[in-house]
Amino acid sequence: VVVWDANSGHPVRTLEGYINGTTAAARYSSDGRWIGVAFNSTVKFGRYEYIGEIAIFDAESGRRTLTLKQEEGEVSCLGFSPDGKMLVSGGKNGEILLWERAGESIQLKIPGHMGSVRICDFLQNGKFIVTAGEDRWLRIWDLEGTLINCAPFPQDILTADVHPTQLSIVIGDSVGYVHLFELIGLN
């Protein structure tokens, strides 16, 4: 992962991941202090195994401060809580994992989607997680893993982002539309 200076167009630093691996997602924390990167690699031990890892880097120095190992399969997306103390990750196996950034253990596992989780992030109030999957479902979860609300989506969800100060989400789909959802009643 390369961090670029937007004014000069020059690289500022390179964040090291896996050799011969792929970068699935890269996100800044809302305060800009941390960069979370999801890496995946394939290893062969008689059969192919897919290994996922989330690395947390100090945005100023580029130093890796924490490594979180995905238990099964590859990581497909990640997001920081608004206070930067928690992470959510989604896997290609459909699982959603909640991590405490201070520790290396999984706090909560949610069997969230059929197929890959494409989008996962915290809402701006830090009380809920929003996810979207290959199964074309948009879901909202509380931090206990309880499904609060869900909605089917007619097209493949390719990208999304949560508004930094409001309870709303923007979604880009596979047929070229952008959808804006205001999330009511989640205070």
Residue 124's pLDDT is 86
Split at pLDDT 50, 70, 90, the class of 187 is: low
- Alpha-carbon gap, residue 29 to 170, rounded angstroms: 18
Nearest CA to 17 out of 28, 5, 26, 29 is that of: 26
Residue 139's pLDDT is 92
- Alpha-carbon gap, residue 112 to 117, rounded angstroms: 8
Residue 46's pLDDT is 64
Residues 6+ apart with CB under 8 A from 178: 170, 171, 172
Neighbours of 131 (CB within 10 A): 26
Burial class (CB within 10 angstroms; exposed 0-12, middle 13-18, buried 19+) of 31: exposed
Percent of the chain with pLDDT over 70: 91
Instruction: DSSP letter for 32, please.
Output: S
Give the chain's mean pLDDT: 85
- Give me the mean pLDDT over the 5-14 stretch: 81
Q: Which amino acid is at 141?
A: W
Residue 79's pLDDT is 93
Complete DSSP assignment for 63-129: -EEEEEE-SSB-EEEEEE-TTSSEEEEEETTSEEEEEETTSSSEEEEEE--SS-EEEEEE-TTSSEE
Which tens digit of pLDDT belongs to each residue from 39-63? 887 766 666 677 788 888 998 888 8
